[in-house]
């Protein structure tokens, strides 16, 4: 029987992890990328948690980070280097989705680095998108040819930035979905104004056709009471703007149902928690009832809205049971 020395074993595992990581990034061949990544990640599940740190290092290296980052001191957003391409950013976020799905609970020791980098990318994309919008409003290009070329470049950059932002929100939702104990507050609090606040003003307008990635994240926050507190902890406009999605013009049933899901979870939690009731329900109850009244009136003239509203009316949403204060 072949015995491998401890040092040799570490080197062997190092080589194997690097080879498997390269296979995940390989785009050639018959097999689909997602299937290949799933197979490789199943193989990597045989590594110890410590050995998996190399996988995290390989993922974060293009971002200028590593598995040991963000472990000490208060969290703060880091600027993303201009040398990190949009392709690298979206590649990281796509791979992160598969890694969290297959190995998420095994990597909680490295979540500070993975989550921190994800927040960095979303904040950077949001900042650059805001800058593009501001520049469009302030600058006038005199040369028409240059203007056309500039506009093409800005459109491509804007699409790439929106893709990074959207994928970033989805990955944040993936972190919150995992049933592990992890304190997100030190990460969400210092990044809220940069990442979430810019979306609040137009949240109802951005969720007309279908729930956005951000609204989905807000919904995931209501999966646990300790997460739901983020809906009121950082900006008092979050819940009111979510409720406004109910009455935005031409809002589709999918959006209405998603908002109903958020509301019902809050009402459920508040039945046994007076503090939750006082923070997340009572301050917004009048707006909720007002918007529900408006929505019910609209169902009389809109058959598309009739079904989801009627179904919810049969439950406890339209006439919520609010527990009495002790």
Predicted pLDDT at 157: 85
Q: What would the pLDDT profile of 153-191 be if each residue is shown by its tens digit? A: 555 688 999 999 999 999 999 999 999 999 999 999 999
How many whole angstroms separate alpha carbon 298 and alpha carbon 149?
46
Say which residue, 306 or 141, is predicted with more confidence: 306
Q: Which residue has the higher pLDDT, 243 or 155?
A: 243
For 167-208, give the secondary structure using H, E and C: HHHHHHHHHHHCCCCCCCHHHHHHHHHHHCHHHHCCCCCCCC
* In the block, residue with structure tokens 């006439």: 319
pLDDT of residue 155: 57
Residue 132 token pair: 């593009």
- Residue 64 CB-density burial (10 A; 0-12 exposed, 13-18 middle, 19+ buried): middle
Whether the pLDDT of residue 259 is over 50: the answer is: yes
Rounded to 10 deg, the angle between the 213-221 and 253-270 helix axes is 20
Whole-prediction pTM: 0.87
Instruction: State residue 30's pLDDT score.
Output: 47
* Cα 54 from Cα 56, distance rounded (Å): 5
For residues 273-289, give the mean pLDDT: 93
Percent of the chain with pLDDT over 70: 79
Contacts for 306 with CB less than 8 Å, ≥ 6 apart: 299
Residues in the chain: 326
What is the predicted pLDDT for the residue at 312? 64
How far, CA to CA in Å, does 177 sit from each of 89, 163, 182, 188, 224? 22, 21, 11, 15, 10
Q: Is the model's pLDDT at 319 over the cut of 90?
A: no
Average pLDDT, the chain: 85
Q: What is the mean pLDDT of residues 127-154?
A: 55
pLDDT tens digit string along 298-315?
877 666 556 656 666 555
Give 128 or 157, the one with higher predicted confidence. 128
Nearest alpha carbon to residue 65 among 14, 116, 2, 1: 116
Q: How far is CA 142 from the centre of its chain?
A: 40
2 pLDDT exceeds 50?
no
The pLDDT of residue 101: 94
Residue 48, SS3 per DSSP: coil
In this predicted model, which residue has the larger pLDDT, 321 or 130?
130
Half-sphere exposure of residue 32: CA atoms within 13 angstroms, side-chain side: 3
Give the SS3 label for residue 49.
coil
Residues 269, 275, 278, 279, CA torsion sign = negative
50 and 13 Cβ atoms separated by less than 8 Å: no
Phi, psi angles (nearest 5°) of residue 65? -135, -175
Cα 3 to the center of its chain, rounded Å: 46
8-54: pLDDT as tens digits: 567 888 999 999 999 888 776 545 656 788 899 999 999 999 999 99
- What percent of the chain is predicted at pLDDT more than 90? 68
pLDDT at 300: 72
């Amino acid at each position: 029987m072949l015995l491998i020395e401890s040092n040799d074993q570490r080197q062997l595992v190092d080589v194997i992890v690097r080879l498997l990581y390269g296979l995940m990034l390989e785009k050639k061949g018959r097999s689909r990328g997602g299937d290949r990544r799933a197979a490789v990640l199943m193989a990597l599940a045989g590594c110890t948690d410590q050995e998996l740190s190399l996988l995290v290092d390989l993922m974060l290296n293009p971002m200028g980070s590593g598995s040991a980052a963000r472990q000490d001191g208060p969290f703060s957003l880091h600027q993303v280097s201009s040398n990190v391409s949009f392709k690298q950013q979206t590649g990281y976020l796509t791979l992160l989705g598969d890694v969290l799905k297959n190995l998420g609970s095994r990597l909680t020791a490295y979540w500070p680095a993975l989550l921190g980098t994800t927040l960095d990318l979303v904040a950077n994309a949001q900042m650059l998108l805001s800058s593009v919008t501001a520049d469009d409003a302030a600058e006038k290009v005199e040369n028409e040819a240059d203007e056309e070329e500039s506009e093409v470049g800005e459109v491509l950059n804007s699409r790439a930035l929106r893709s990074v932002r959207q994928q970033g929100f989805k990955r944040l939702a993936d972190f919150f979905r995992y049933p592990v104990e992890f304190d997100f507050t030190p990460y969400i609090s210092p990044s809220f104004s940069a990442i979430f606040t810019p979306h609040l003003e137009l949240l109802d307008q951005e969720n007309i056709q279908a729930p956005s990635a951000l609204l989905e994240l807000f919904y995931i926050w209501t999966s646990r009471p300790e997460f739901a507190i983020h809906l009121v902890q950082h900006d008092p406009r979050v819940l009111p703007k979510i409720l406004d999605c109910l009455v935005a013009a031409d809002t589709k049933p999918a959006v209405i149902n998603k908002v109903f899901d958020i509301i019902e979870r809050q009402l459920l939690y508040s039945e046994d928690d007076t503090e939750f009731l006082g923070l997340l329900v009572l301050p917004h109850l009048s707006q909720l009832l007002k918007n529900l009244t408006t929505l019910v009136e609209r169902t009389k003239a809109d058959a598309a809205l009739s079904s989801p509203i009627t179904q919810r009316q049969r439950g406890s949403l339209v006439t919520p049971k609010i527990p009495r204060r002790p």
